[in-house]
Amino acid sequence: MEKKTERTQSGQFEVAFNRIHRCLKDMVKDAHNESFVELLNVGQKSHSIIRKYKDELYQFARLRNAIVHEKFDVDQYIAEPHVEVVRRIEKIAANFEKPPLAISISSTPVFYYYEDAYLKDVLKAINKFDFTRFPIYDKNDVYMGLLTSSDIIRWMAKVMTSSVISLGDVKVRELLNNRKQYYVDFIKSTTNLYEVEEMFDRYHAEDKKLQAVIISETGTANGKPKAILTPWDLLDPDPNS
């Protein structure tokens, strides 16, 4: 009975390993060959999900060689993976086949405002929810820019040194003229987490800081936002991974 359990674990490991291998073949098209390790070496340069698991996958490749190439017989393995190793590779295989969606770790609902909204309402949201980034839209639901709490502080410091103003009368559009320009991108709700990580990496490679990724109804700047994703959201997107 014990040997049967061990063979099952080895078989499960091999099946999960092959599932990941198939995903790597689909993802990586510029490798010299389709060996598992070669796909890892090439694919990690452009695929966030491969970089996330690469150390474990290299170890799995070595274990797989011991399991598969050193069989005593068709169903008799010279090496047997621990049950926790099997669970881990099956979880990673599932992640490759169906990556988590970016919206699963984003801030929802997103607080956004129209250009004719009052600044006092934005301040209430900052005070109540501790949010710091607010997409601003025109009356046609077209994105105009990102307003941050830092922008508001700088604006208040500037205007209050020269005049006395009533914050109750100030509209958001007054803060948009001289605010700092931020890099913001847009995705659909079907975009997965690793695609967003690659987006942040591309901006970083160009020496640009992507302040936010907005998930909109259309995946573009035209359309109401459904959620917002910031660099902070990516720090620990999957604590149980």
Tell me the residue type at 189: S
Tell me the residue type at 198: E
pTM of the model: 0.78
What is the phi/psi pair of residue 26, to 5°?
-70, -35
Domains of the chain: 2-98 (no CATH), 104-234 (3.10.580.10)
At residue 162, the pLDDT reads 65
Phi-psi region of 223 (alpha: psi -120 to 50; beta: other; left: phi over 0): left
Render each residue's pLDDT in the chain as its tens digit; 241 residues: 444 444 578 889 999 999 999 999 999 999 999 999 999 999 999 999 999 999 999 999 999 988 876 555 555 556 678 899 999 999 999 999 999 999 998 877 889 999 999 999 999 989 888 788 899 999 999 999 999 998 998 888 888 766 667 777 899 998 887 667 899 999 999 999 999 999 999 999 999 999 999 999 899 999 889 999 988 888 765 545 6
Tell me the residue type at 40: L
What stretch of H or E contains 119?
A: helix 119-129
The separation between the first and the last C-alpha atoms of the chain, rounded to the nearest angstrom, is 32
